[in-house]
């Protein structure tokens, strides 16, 4: 998983902050809003903007085989890096960008920042809060660090970090129950069972799953939100240790909000 290294140049941070706030955001006659990401928050924001009569384009990465589609226009696939995104913003009369990608999609966020600075298009990052930490959780700063810590915590692992993260755990001689939305590809642990499923999940269902497979450690990213949080309550109830991968830092100088309501207020505040 690529990690975003926070920029340490104060002068550049000031330029980023000024550029991303430079213009008034929207009204029905001032271009469209580009929403990056297919998260629940992205879909809720798209719905609210469409209902308000605004032009909205939601951009999905295309990594999920059967994604839940948001209201309004939808595009699927990458932009071709920073230059491609900047060209798309210019060519499609974009008035504002909302980065509502997954909290771990740090490469896309970095590209959005650089493209918006280059074009003068305002940007806000919509990130749901992480889960409230609980006593006893073990934290890792990266997937490789989580893999290094894992053998000391358990032998039968419930791995819920996503199908693109499995290579980090491929060399571990542990038993894995891997849950993801689509079938994984690429390197993965030798002793693995794959469960294809999509949230929301229930605490009772998660407890039953942990008992059925004899899970003795849970690994998760700090994704936040209610759709997959039941596993945390289930682990607490079952006495299962939890290993949590911290989020990558946001770029310095970027506006960030935690709720759809706050994103709407930011868009109105031009």
**What pLDDT is attached to residue 144?**
97
Question: CA nearest 34: which of 51, 54, 13, 62?
Answer: 54
- Residues forming CATH 3.40.50.720 domain(s) in the chain: 10-129+249-268, 138-245
Residue whose entry in the numeric block shows the structure tokens 């911290």: 246
Helix axes 230-238, 203-212, angle to 10 degrees: 50
**What pLDDT is attached to residue 55?**
94
Domain spanning 138-245 has what CATH number? 3.40.50.720
Whether the model pTM is above 0.85 = no
Domain spanning 10-129+249-268 has what CATH number? 3.40.50.720
> pLDDT 10s per residue in the chain (270 long)?
222 223 344 433 443 343 344 334 555 456 799 999 999 999 999 999 999 999 999 999 877 777 788 999 999 999 999 999 999 999 999 999 999 999 999 999 999 999 999 999 999 999 999 999 999 999 999 999 999 999 999 999 999 999 999 999 999 999 999 999 889 988 999 999 999 998 899 999 999 999 999 999 999 999 998 888 999 999 999 999 999 999 999 999 999 999 999 999 999 986
**What pLDDT is attached to residue 270?**
62
The span from the CA of 34 to the CA of 36, in Å, is 6
**What pLDDT is attached to residue 26?**
57
**What pLDDT is attached to residue 241?**
98
Structure tokens, 248:
């990558």
**What pLDDT is attached to residue 234?**
98
């Amino acid at each position: 998983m690529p990690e975003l290294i926070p920029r340490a140049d104060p002068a550049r941070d000031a330029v980023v902050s000024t550029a991303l706030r430079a213009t008034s955001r929207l009204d029905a006659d001032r271009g469209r809003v580009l929403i990056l990401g297919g998260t629940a928050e992205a879909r809720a924001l798209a719905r609210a903007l469409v209902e308000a009569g605004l032009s909205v384009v939601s951009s999905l990465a295309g990594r999920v085989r059967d994604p839940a589609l948001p209201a309004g226009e939808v595009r699927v696939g990458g932009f071709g890096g920073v230059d491609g995104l900047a060209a798309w913003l210019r060519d499609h009369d974009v008035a504002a960008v909302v980065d509502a990608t997954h909290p771990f999609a740090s490469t896309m966020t970095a590209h959005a920042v650089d493209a918006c600075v280059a074009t003068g298009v305002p940007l806000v990052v919509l990130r749901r809060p992480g889960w409230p930490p609980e006593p006893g959780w073990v934290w890792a700063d990266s997937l490789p660090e989580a893999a290094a810590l894992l053998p000391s915590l358990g032998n039968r692992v419930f791995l819920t970090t996503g199908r693109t993260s499995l290579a980090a755990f491929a060399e571990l001689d542990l038993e894995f129950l891997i849950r993801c939305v689509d079938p994984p590809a690429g390197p993965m642990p030798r002793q693995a069972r794959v469960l294809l499923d999509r949230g929301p999940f229930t605490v009772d269902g998660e407890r039953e799953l942990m008992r059925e497979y004899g899970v003795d450690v849970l690994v998760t990213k700090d994704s936040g939100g209610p759709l997959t949080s039941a596993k945390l309550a289930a682990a607490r109830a079952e006495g299962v240790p939890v290993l949590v991968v911290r989020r990558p830092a946001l770029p310095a100088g970027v506006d960030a909000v935690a709720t759809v309501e706050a994103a709407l207020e930011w868009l109105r505040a031009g």
